[in-house]
Structure 1
Amino acid sequence: MDFLNDGIKVFVILWALIDPVGTIPVFLAVSKQHPPTDFSRLAFRAVCIAWLVLIFFMTTGEFILNAMEIPLSAFQVSGGIILFLFALTMIFGESKPEEEVNMAKSFKDTSVFPLAMPSIASPGAIMGIVLLTEKRSASFEAQLMVAALMTVILLITFVLLYSSKYIDRLIGDSGASLLSRVMGLIICAIAVKYVLDGIKLYFQL
């Protein structure tokens, strides 16, 4: 039961951080610069690049921290603060779709930037994936679960992007913006928890 509950919690966290629905308006803006025949290829390429970026940080992020002699407590607090600021921009600033649609207007290889990064593999998703797979608090099985759930969410992201024209007719840009702001609220709560856990760990040392 705990494994199931942990899986649900991790899925919700990763869904909020990756925010597949919020990527739809970005993808629609990006796809206008490409011929219709490139529609599925663009979505697949962006999701694959995002997966590689997240897997890279999942496998090497903690190693880099250890090499720099950065304690987990410091990373949890700093990571929580960064996630919190990231979430505030989603809630009070331009929402994720609005901000990244503007980015899409000035770059040629849009499958990499801003689609794969920072829309899918966002700074918040990178930070969250490192924290969720930290070896001293997550077993090898838990790390595999995080990797599997991340892959599932990215597959869902591909399906949503592939069906984005139909979904956009249903919810529109305003609907995606609203959902993005709700995800920002969830990320705020996650960020505060990371900060509190980091402070608690620091005073236990």
Structure 2
Amino acid sequence: MSGTRFFVEAFVTMFVIMDPPGVIPLFLAYTSGRSPLERRRIAWQAAVTAFCLIVVFAVFGQAILAYLHVEVAAMQIAGGLLLLLVALELLRGVSQPSSESMRSNVNVALVPLGTPLLAGPGAIVATIVFAQQAGGRPGGILALGLAIAAVHLVLWVFMRFSVSIIRVIKENGVELVTRIAGLLLSALAVQLIINAIRALLA
């Protein structure tokens, strides 16, 4: 697989998992009543938090799997099933945060925005699988690194300009994009499982 194709596959998969358009209503809900300056600060903190977590699992995820004696195919099947659950959640719609969680004194940039909403189980599993597929190849590692950075840059842009974006595409537009992302992710999840089964039968 070429570096460009690998970059596109990793970027698209992580984009639909993290769902930047779907993050907008949640980001606005959790930052309700905050000043524009505070919202900008929370936006970059959440993106940086998610980026750091994903990078950690991209670097050390394979070592963890080796320690647990888990094969790549097993991780691909588990990851595919997990991504399918995430896709079903996107297709059903994004749940709104409770008023109690919005009033919490916890830094929302770290929890729940940074994790688990952005760097959640689906994104972590996908990162480990892609890191394994890169196979230590410099081109693959570079492509994966660029894909991770690009996705988090997009996430930051969507959160940073969430108020302006919601005015343009409205809530119905966000919901439509979220549903499309769920459909694409479900197809990617099934393909991941098919590839793993092929590898086991080969």
**TM-score, normalised via structure 1 length:** 0.88
Distance 1:90 1:106, change over 3 A: farther
- In structure 1, stretches of 5+ residues that fail to align are none
| 2:10–2:144 contact (8 Å) kept in structure 1 | yes
Choose the corresponding residue for 1:105, options 102, 106, 119: 102
Q: State the alpha-carbon separation in 2 of the partners of residues 77 and 109 from structure 1.
A: 34
Partner of 1:177: 175
Higher deviation after alignment, 43-52 or 100-109: 100-109
Shift of residue 89 of structure 1? 1.6
**TM-score, normalised via structure 2 length:** 0.89
Partner of 1:128: 126
Q: How does 1:51-130 map to 2 (within 5 A)?
A: 51-92=51-92, 95-96=93-94, 99-102=95-98, 104-105=101-102, 107=104, 108-130=106-128
2:199 pairs with 1:201? yes
2:184 pairs with 1:186? yes
Count of equivalent residues: 200
Distance 1:118 1:172, change over 3 A: farther
| 2:17–2:123 contact (8 Å) kept in structure 1 | yes
Shift of residue 18 of structure 1? 1.8
> Cα deviation per residue 1:83-110 (whole Å; 9 max; x = unaligned)?
1112112113xx23xx253485354321
Q: State the alpha-carbon separation in 2 of the partners of residues 106 and 194 from structure 1.
A: 39
Percentage of pairs with the same residue: 26
Shift of residue 136 of structure 1? 6.8
